[in-house]
Amino acid sequence: MEKEMTQVTFGSQQVSVIAGGFYDRYRMNPDLDQVAKDPLAGDISWFRTLPKRQLDSRVGLTWAPNFYYRSQNLQLLMLAPLAKLKAALPVPLEPLRALPGYGLVALTFFSYDLCDNDPYQEASVAVVIRAPGAKGSQLGELISAMGQRHFHAHVLALPVTTEIARVRGVEAYQLPKWRADIDLEISDKASARILGPDGKVDLAVSAPLPRLSRVPSQSHMSQTTMVHQVDGCWQQTRVQTNTLAFAQQLLPRKLTLTRGQGPLSTLLQQLGAGRVLRFDVMQDAQSALHLPTPLGARL
Protein backbone atom coordinates (compact mmCIF):
# COMPACT_ATOMS: atom_id res chain seq x y z
CA MET A 1 0.00 0.00 0.00
CA GLU A 2 1.37 3.39 -0.99
CA LYS A 3 2.00 5.80 1.85
CA GLU A 4 0.22 9.13 1.97
CA MET A 5 2.53 12.02 1.13
CA THR A 6 2.55 15.66 2.14
CA GLN A 7 4.44 18.75 0.94
CA VAL A 8 7.12 20.40 3.09
CA THR A 9 9.49 23.29 2.45
CA PHE A 10 13.20 22.50 2.35
CA GLY A 11 15.35 25.50 1.56
CA SER A 12 13.68 27.11 -1.44
CA GLN A 13 11.94 23.94 -2.63
CA GLN A 14 8.69 22.11 -1.98
CA VAL A 15 9.35 18.41 -1.41
CA SER A 16 7.02 15.43 -0.91
CA VAL A 17 7.61 13.44 2.29
CA ILE A 18 5.67 10.72 4.12
CA ALA A 19 2.69 12.23 5.95
CA GLY A 20 3.25 11.64 9.66
CA GLY A 21 6.78 10.35 9.03
CA PHE A 22 9.82 11.42 10.99
CA TYR A 23 10.62 14.37 8.73
CA ASP A 24 7.02 15.58 8.72
CA ARG A 25 6.80 15.32 12.52
CA TYR A 26 10.23 16.40 13.70
CA ARG A 27 11.95 18.43 10.92
CA MET A 28 15.33 16.85 11.86
CA ASN A 29 14.94 17.59 15.60
CA PRO A 30 13.36 14.38 16.95
CA ASP A 31 12.13 13.59 20.42
CA LEU A 32 14.38 10.61 21.17
CA ASP A 33 11.95 9.30 23.77
CA GLN A 34 9.36 9.01 21.00
CA VAL A 35 11.88 7.52 18.57
CA ALA A 36 12.71 4.84 21.15
CA LYS A 37 9.09 3.64 21.01
CA ASP A 38 9.41 2.71 17.35
CA PRO A 39 9.86 -1.09 17.01
CA LEU A 40 12.66 -0.57 14.47
CA ALA A 41 14.69 1.77 16.67
CA GLY A 42 16.36 -0.69 19.03
CA ASP A 43 18.89 0.73 21.49
CA ILE A 44 19.32 4.41 20.66
CA SER A 45 21.50 5.33 23.64
CA TRP A 46 24.40 6.30 21.34
CA PHE A 47 22.34 9.12 19.81
CA ARG A 48 21.77 10.59 23.27
CA THR A 49 25.54 11.24 23.41
CA LEU A 50 25.30 13.38 20.24
CA PRO A 51 23.19 16.41 21.09
CA LYS A 52 21.76 18.14 18.04
CA ARG A 53 22.46 21.79 17.40
CA GLN A 54 20.72 24.23 15.10
CA LEU A 55 23.40 25.39 12.66
CA ASP A 56 23.54 27.72 9.71
CA SER A 57 23.83 25.99 6.33
CA ARG A 58 23.33 26.60 2.61
CA VAL A 59 19.58 26.13 3.17
CA GLY A 60 19.33 28.24 6.33
CA LEU A 61 19.18 27.04 9.92
CA THR A 62 19.05 23.25 10.19
CA TRP A 63 19.40 20.68 12.94
CA ALA A 64 22.53 18.53 12.85
CA PRO A 65 23.78 15.86 12.90
CA ASN A 66 21.30 13.82 10.90
CA PHE A 67 20.48 10.51 12.64
CA TYR A 68 20.13 7.09 10.99
CA TYR A 69 18.70 4.86 13.72
CA ARG A 70 18.61 1.54 11.83
CA SER A 71 20.52 0.87 8.62
CA GLN A 72 22.26 -1.80 6.56
CA ASN A 73 24.96 -1.63 3.92
CA LEU A 74 27.01 -3.72 1.52
CA GLN A 75 30.41 -2.55 0.25
CA LEU A 76 32.92 -3.71 -2.35
CA LEU A 77 36.42 -2.27 -1.99
CA MET A 78 37.98 -2.49 -5.45
CA LEU A 79 41.42 -1.93 -6.91
CA ALA A 80 41.80 0.69 -9.65
CA PRO A 81 44.82 2.18 -11.45
CA LEU A 82 46.19 5.27 -9.74
CA ALA A 83 46.46 7.14 -13.05
CA LYS A 84 42.73 6.76 -13.71
CA LEU A 85 41.83 7.73 -10.15
CA LYS A 86 43.99 10.86 -10.33
CA ALA A 87 42.29 11.84 -13.57
CA ALA A 88 38.86 11.51 -11.91
CA LEU A 89 39.74 13.54 -8.82
CA PRO A 90 39.70 17.34 -8.67
CA VAL A 91 43.02 18.98 -7.86
CA PRO A 92 44.53 18.89 -5.22
CA LEU A 93 42.96 15.59 -4.03
CA GLU A 94 45.20 12.54 -4.26
CA PRO A 95 44.15 8.86 -4.24
CA LEU A 96 45.57 6.78 -1.40
CA ARG A 97 47.91 4.13 -2.79
CA ALA A 98 47.01 0.58 -1.71
CA LEU A 99 49.42 -1.37 -3.94
CA PRO A 100 52.11 -0.18 -6.38
CA GLY A 101 50.21 1.60 -9.14
CA TYR A 102 46.77 1.02 -7.60
CA GLY A 103 44.34 2.81 -5.35
CA LEU A 104 40.89 2.00 -3.98
CA VAL A 105 37.31 2.55 -5.13
CA ALA A 106 34.42 1.84 -2.76
CA LEU A 107 31.07 0.75 -4.21
CA THR A 108 28.47 0.83 -1.43
CA PHE A 109 24.74 0.16 -1.21
CA PHE A 110 22.80 1.48 1.81
CA SER A 111 19.32 0.92 3.19
CA TYR A 112 18.17 3.40 5.83
CA ASP A 113 15.15 1.76 7.45
CA LEU A 114 14.61 4.40 10.13
CA CYS A 115 16.09 7.89 9.99
CA ASP A 116 15.35 11.59 10.44
CA ASN A 117 14.43 12.08 6.79
CA ASP A 118 12.35 8.90 6.35
CA PRO A 119 13.36 5.50 4.89
CA TYR A 120 15.34 5.41 1.65
CA GLN A 121 18.06 3.53 -0.21
CA GLU A 122 21.33 4.89 -1.55
CA ALA A 123 24.29 3.81 -3.67
CA SER A 124 27.75 5.34 -3.66
CA VAL A 125 30.89 5.27 -5.76
CA ALA A 126 33.80 6.93 -3.95
CA VAL A 127 37.58 7.11 -4.31
CA VAL A 128 39.62 6.55 -1.13
CA ILE A 129 41.93 9.56 -0.86
CA ARG A 130 44.82 10.78 1.25
CA ALA A 131 43.72 12.73 4.30
CA PRO A 132 43.96 16.50 3.76
CA GLY A 133 47.41 17.69 4.79
CA ALA A 134 48.81 14.15 5.11
CA LYS A 135 52.55 13.72 4.59
CA GLY A 136 54.95 10.81 4.59
CA SER A 137 54.36 7.15 3.86
CA GLN A 138 51.12 6.26 2.10
CA LEU A 139 51.43 2.68 3.36
CA GLY A 140 51.63 4.00 6.91
CA GLU A 141 48.58 6.17 6.29
CA LEU A 142 46.64 3.19 4.90
CA ILE A 143 47.56 0.98 7.86
CA SER A 144 46.58 3.77 10.27
CA ALA A 145 43.25 4.32 8.49
CA MET A 146 42.47 0.61 8.65
CA GLY A 147 43.42 0.38 12.32
CA GLN A 148 41.35 3.42 13.28
CA ARG A 149 38.52 2.50 10.88
CA HIS A 150 38.63 6.06 9.55
CA PHE A 151 38.95 6.66 5.81
CA HIS A 152 38.80 9.83 3.74
CA ALA A 153 36.94 9.70 0.44
CA HIS A 154 35.75 11.80 -2.47
CA VAL A 155 32.27 10.79 -3.65
CA LEU A 156 31.73 10.69 -7.41
CA ALA A 157 28.14 9.38 -7.46
CA LEU A 158 25.43 9.13 -4.80
CA PRO A 159 22.01 8.19 -6.24
CA VAL A 160 19.06 7.84 -3.81
CA THR A 161 15.46 6.65 -3.92
CA THR A 162 13.53 9.59 -2.42
CA GLU A 163 13.16 13.25 -3.29
CA ILE A 164 13.83 14.54 0.23
CA ALA A 165 17.13 12.61 0.30
CA ARG A 166 18.09 13.97 -3.12
CA VAL A 167 17.20 17.58 -2.34
CA ARG A 168 18.92 17.55 1.06
CA GLY A 169 22.10 16.08 -0.45
CA VAL A 170 22.24 18.51 -3.35
CA GLU A 171 21.08 21.68 -1.61
CA ALA A 172 22.73 21.31 1.80
CA TYR A 173 25.88 19.34 0.86
CA GLN A 174 26.29 19.82 -2.92
CA LEU A 175 26.76 16.08 -3.34
CA PRO A 176 26.23 14.30 -6.71
CA LYS A 177 22.76 12.91 -6.02
CA TRP A 178 19.95 11.89 -8.36
CA ARG A 179 16.87 9.67 -8.15
CA ALA A 180 17.17 5.98 -9.02
CA ASP A 181 15.58 2.62 -8.17
CA ILE A 182 17.83 0.85 -5.62
CA ASP A 183 17.34 -2.38 -3.66
CA LEU A 184 19.39 -3.97 -0.88
CA GLU A 185 18.64 -7.26 0.86
CA ILE A 186 20.72 -8.91 3.57
CA SER A 187 19.39 -12.33 4.67
CA ASP A 188 21.07 -15.68 3.97
CA LYS A 189 22.76 -13.83 1.14
CA ALA A 190 23.66 -10.22 0.47
CA SER A 191 22.35 -8.71 -2.73
CA ALA A 192 21.87 -5.25 -4.14
CA ARG A 193 21.03 -3.61 -7.44
CA ILE A 194 20.47 -0.23 -8.99
CA LEU A 195 18.53 0.43 -12.17
CA GLY A 196 19.62 2.91 -14.81
CA PRO A 197 17.44 5.63 -16.37
CA ASP A 198 16.22 3.10 -18.96
CA GLY A 199 14.86 0.79 -16.26
CA LYS A 200 17.51 -1.87 -16.94
CA VAL A 201 20.04 -3.09 -14.38
CA ASP A 202 22.94 -0.67 -14.00
CA LEU A 203 24.81 -2.64 -11.33
CA ALA A 204 23.93 -5.76 -9.34
CA VAL A 205 25.83 -7.53 -6.56
CA SER A 206 25.14 -10.94 -5.05
CA ALA A 207 27.11 -13.09 -2.60
CA PRO A 208 26.56 -15.60 0.20
CA LEU A 209 26.40 -13.82 3.53
CA PRO A 210 29.69 -14.23 5.41
CA ARG A 211 29.50 -15.20 9.06
CA LEU A 212 28.28 -12.22 11.07
CA SER A 213 29.85 -10.81 14.22
CA ARG A 214 27.51 -9.11 16.69
CA VAL A 215 29.08 -6.56 19.01
CA PRO A 216 27.89 -4.27 21.83
CA SER A 217 26.82 -0.74 20.95
CA GLN A 218 29.74 1.73 20.62
CA SER A 219 32.38 -1.05 20.69
CA HIS A 220 33.02 -1.04 16.92
CA MET A 221 32.92 2.59 15.82
CA SER A 222 34.10 3.82 12.44
CA GLN A 223 34.19 7.09 10.54
CA THR A 224 34.26 8.23 6.94
CA THR A 225 35.21 11.80 6.09
CA MET A 226 33.93 13.01 2.73
CA VAL A 227 36.07 15.73 1.17
CA HIS A 228 34.23 17.84 -1.39
CA GLN A 229 33.61 21.39 -2.55
CA VAL A 230 30.69 23.50 -1.35
CA ASP A 231 30.21 26.78 -3.21
CA GLY A 232 33.76 26.52 -4.53
CA CYS A 233 35.37 26.00 -1.09
CA TRP A 234 36.82 22.73 0.17
CA GLN A 235 34.82 21.18 2.99
CA GLN A 236 34.81 17.96 4.98
CA THR A 237 31.71 16.06 6.05
CA ARG A 238 31.96 13.42 8.80
CA VAL A 239 29.87 10.27 8.93
CA GLN A 240 30.14 8.37 12.22
CA THR A 241 28.95 4.76 12.31
CA ASN A 242 28.09 2.59 15.31
CA THR A 243 28.26 -0.96 13.93
CA LEU A 244 26.22 -3.66 15.68
CA ALA A 245 26.35 -6.66 13.31
CA PHE A 246 28.90 -7.00 10.52
CA ALA A 247 30.88 -9.39 8.33
CA GLN A 248 34.02 -9.00 6.25
CA GLN A 249 35.64 -11.17 3.59
CA LEU A 250 38.97 -10.65 1.84
CA LEU A 251 39.27 -11.57 -1.85
CA PRO A 252 35.73 -13.00 -2.02
CA ARG A 253 35.41 -15.90 -4.49
CA LYS A 254 31.64 -16.40 -4.62
CA LEU A 255 30.70 -12.77 -5.21
CA THR A 256 29.00 -11.83 -8.47
CA LEU A 257 29.13 -8.25 -9.77
CA THR A 258 26.96 -7.68 -12.83
CA ARG A 259 27.56 -4.53 -14.86
CA GLY A 260 25.11 -2.99 -17.29
CA GLN A 261 25.14 0.19 -19.34
CA GLY A 262 24.00 2.68 -16.67
CA PRO A 263 25.87 5.59 -15.07
CA LEU A 264 27.46 3.65 -12.19
CA SER A 265 28.72 0.84 -14.44
CA THR A 266 30.11 3.46 -16.82
CA LEU A 267 31.81 5.26 -13.94
CA LEU A 268 33.44 2.07 -12.62
CA GLN A 269 34.68 1.32 -16.13
CA GLN A 270 36.15 4.81 -16.46
CA LEU A 271 37.91 4.37 -13.11
CA GLY A 272 39.28 0.96 -14.14
CA ALA A 273 37.79 -0.59 -10.99
CA GLY A 274 38.34 -4.33 -11.20
CA ARG A 275 39.48 -6.79 -8.55
CA VAL A 276 37.35 -6.85 -5.41
CA LEU A 277 39.83 -6.68 -2.55
CA ARG A 278 37.33 -6.78 0.32
CA PHE A 279 33.63 -7.46 0.77
CA ASP A 280 31.94 -5.84 3.78
CA VAL A 281 28.40 -6.23 5.09
CA MET A 282 26.78 -4.29 7.92
CA GLN A 283 23.52 -6.01 8.77
CA ASP A 284 22.76 -3.63 11.63
CA ALA A 285 24.28 -0.19 12.10
CA GLN A 286 23.55 3.34 13.29
CA SER A 287 25.02 6.51 11.78
CA ALA A 288 25.28 10.25 12.30
CA LEU A 289 25.83 12.58 9.33
CA HIS A 290 27.32 15.96 10.23
CA LEU A 291 27.15 19.20 8.27
CA PRO A 292 30.15 20.19 6.13
CA THR A 293 32.91 22.21 7.81
CA PRO A 294 35.66 24.22 6.07
CA LEU A 295 39.05 22.62 5.50
CA GLY A 296 40.83 25.95 5.36
CA ALA A 297 44.55 25.69 4.60
CA ARG A 298 44.73 21.88 5.00
CA LEU A 299 44.47 21.35 1.23
Average pLDDT over residues 259-271: 97
- Specify whether the CB–CB gap between 84 and 270 falls below 8 A: yes
pLDDT at 184 over 90: yes
* Average pLDDT over the chain, rounded to an integer: 96
pLDDT bucket at 1, cuts 50 / 70 / 90: low
pLDDT in tens, 34-86: 999 999 999 999 999 999 999 999 999 999 999 999 999 999 999 999 999 99
| Spatial separation of the C-alpha atoms in residues 234 and 54, rounded to whole Å | 22
Kindly give the pairing relationship between strand 150-157 and strand 221-230.
parallel
Which stretch of DSSP H or E encloses residue 22?
A: helix 22-26
Specify whether the CB–CB gap between 282 and 246 falls below 8 A. Answer: yes
pLDDT reported for residue 297: 64
- Give the residue-averaged pLDDT of 105-118: 98
The arithmetic mean of pLDDT across residues 96-116, rounded, is 98
| Contacting residues for 262 by C-beta, under 8 A, at least 6 apart | 194, 195, 196, 197, 198, 200, 201, 202, 203
State the average pLDDT over residues 133-150: 94
- DSSP assignment, residue 100? T
For position 3, what pLDDT does the model report? Answer: 87
Distance CA(277)–CA(141), nearest Å, equals: 18
pTM: 0.97
Q: Each residue of 209-248: b (16+ CB within 10 Å) or e?
A: bbebeeeeeeebebbbbbbbebeeebbbbbbbbbbbbbbb
> pLDDT value at position 298?
67
**pLDDT band (50, 70, 90) for residue 12:** confident
Domains in the chain: boundaries: 5-298
The class (CATH top level) of 5-298 is mainly beta
Cβ contact 23:117 at 8 Å = yes
Residue 296 has pLDDT above 90, yes or no: no
pLDDT, tens digit, 9 for 90 and up, residues 232-261:
999 999 999 999 999 999 999 999 999 999
How confident is residue 11, by pLDDT bands cut at 50, 70 and 90?
Answer: confident
pLDDT value at residue 2: 75
| Range with lowest mean pLDDT among 96-105, 106-115, 173-182, 288-297 | 288-297
pLDDT tens by residue, 206-224:
999 999 999 999 999 999 9
pLDDT score recorded for residue 187? 93
Candidates 73, 70, 67; CA nearest to 182 is 73
